[in-house]
């Protein structure tokens, strides 16, 4: 399927996993980006039997599991702390494999005070490589999320270039990039060749003034991003994942309203033709 439409379960922290599956199918989505961690729908303590039961439920509903989020950080100067995060990533890989998810979403982390990207890079690369070797053996791919001190593609791209591992790819969160002052024409050349999937959100303002809005009602150049994804000899065919961050922002509309409202907007974006110049 060309650009299957999915959503992150950040949208619906109140729903049990079974309800997530049933409503995703009812709302016309194709797949799910599962929130992991201690507060997610698929926590690390989830049993293999429960994982496989959820996998069957997802498949019976005609859906697929896109990814599981691992809340990792590889920036610490302490090797033992980084190794603990590698273990977290490996455990999430096992969870993703049991769920049948293709990706584990990982974060590089925030830089400790006084520590630069250059200081942290060796530890990041060693950690990612160790986690990627394990992931590859499970037929799972790590998808790096540009976030925190690594939200801009110019910061993430050198790390990807230094680790050309087949089990390491990257997510393009178009809204996060825009909130950091980066336009699609800057992001696409840097991340496009290693892209796993695309997260979509909308909002107004940048930096300190950034505020989320319903999809299609903000300033994020979503159509420009889709034009770039569509362009070139090999258009991007991976998933588009709506990230409605109700788990972090409980004032947002509940998922039973937000998810159906976003789907026709996603459909229009998916139909966006390639164009010449996109900004």
**Could you report the per-residue pLDDT of 178-213, keeping only the tens digit for each?**
999 999 999 999 999 999 999 999 999 999 999 999
Angle made by CA atoms 204, 208, 211, in degrees to the nearest 5: 30
Torsion of CA 6, 181, 205, 200, to 10 degrees: 0
Q: Please report the pLDDT score of residue 58 as a whole number.
A: 98
Q: Please report the pLDDT score of residue 2 as a whole number.
A: 83
Average pLDDT, the chain: 95
Residue 164: pLDDT above 60? yes
Residue 128: pLDDT above 80? yes
Beta carbons within 8 Å of 98's beta carbon, 6+ residues apart: 48, 51, 52, 55
pLDDT average, residue stretch 63-74:
97
Residue 274: pLDDT above 90? no
Q: How far is 186 from 42, CA to CA, in rounded Å?
A: 34
Residue 229: pLDDT above 90? yes
Q: Token pair for residue 51?
A: 């994982």
Residue % of the chain over a pLDDT of 90:
92
DSSP per-residue string spanning 204-220? E--GGG-EEE-TTSSS-
**Could you report the per-residue pLDDT of 7-61, keeping only the tens digit for each?**
999 999 999 999 999 999 999 999 999 999 988 999 998 999 999 999 999 999 9
Q: Which CATH architecture has domain 5-270?
A: Alpha-Beta Barrel (3.20)
Half-sphere exposure of 98 (CA within 13 A, CB side): 19
Query: Where would I find the H helices in 153-251?
Result: 153-162, 174-179, 184-191, 222-230
Cα separation values, 63 from 12, 78, 148, 196, 270, Å: 17, 41, 31, 18, 18
pLDDT average, residue stretch 101-116:
97
pTM confidence score:
0.95
Q: Please report the pLDDT score of residue 233 as a whole number.
A: 76
**Could you report the per-residue pLDDT of 240-265, keeping only the tens digit for each?**
999 999 999 999 999 999 999 999 99
Residue 176: pLDDT above 60? yes
Residue 278: pLDDT above 60? no
pLDDT average, residue stretch 130-137:
98
Q: How far is 227 from 224, CA to CA, in rounded Å?
A: 5
DSSP state of 149: G
DSSP per-residue string spanning 45-75? T--HHHHHHHHHHHHHTT-EEEEEE------
Half-sphere exposure of 207 (CA within 13 A, CB side): 1
Residue 277: pLDDT above 60? no
Beta carbons within 8 Å of 205's beta carbon, 6+ residues apart: 179, 211, 219
pLDDT band at 275 (very low <50, low <70, confident <90, very high): low
Residue % of the chain over a pLDDT of 70:
98
Q: Please report the pLDDT score of residue 273 as a whole number.
A: 76
């Amino acid at each position: 399927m060309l650009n299957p439409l999915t959503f992150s379960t950040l949208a619906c922290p109140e729903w049990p996993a079974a309800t997530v599956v049933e409503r995703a199918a009812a709302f016309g989505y194709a797949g799910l980006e599962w929130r992991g961690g201690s507060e997610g729908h698929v926590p690390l303590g989830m049993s293999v039997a429960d994982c496989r039961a959820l996998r069957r439920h997802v498949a019976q509903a005609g859906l697929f599991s896109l990814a599981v989020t691992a809340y990792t950080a590889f920036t610490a100067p302490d090797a033992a702390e980084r190794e603990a995060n590698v273990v977290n990533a490996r455990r999430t890989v096992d969870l993703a494999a049991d769920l049948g998810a293709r990706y584990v979403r990982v974060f590089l982390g925030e830089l400790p005070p006084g520590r630069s990207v250059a200081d942290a890079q060796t530890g990041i690369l060693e950690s990612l490589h160790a986690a990627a070797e394990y992931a590859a053996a499970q037929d799972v791919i790590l998808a790096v999320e540009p976030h925190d001190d690594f939200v801009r593609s110019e910061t993430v791209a050198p790390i990807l270039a230094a680790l050309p591992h087949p089990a390491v790819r990257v997510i393009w969160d178009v809204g996060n990039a825009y909130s950091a002052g980066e336009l699609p024409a800057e992001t696409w050349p840097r991340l496009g060749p290693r892209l796993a999937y695309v997260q979509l959100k909308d909002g107004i303002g940048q930096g300190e003034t950034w505020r989320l809005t319903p999809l299609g009602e903000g300033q994020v150049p979503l159509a420009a991003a889709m034009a770039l994804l569509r362009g070139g000899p090999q258009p991007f065919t991976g998933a588009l994942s709506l990230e409605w961050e109700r788990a972090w922002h409980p004032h947002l509309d509940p998922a039973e309203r937000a998810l159906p409202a976003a789907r026709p907007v996603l459909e229009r974006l998916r139909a966006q033709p390639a164009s010449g110049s996109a900004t």
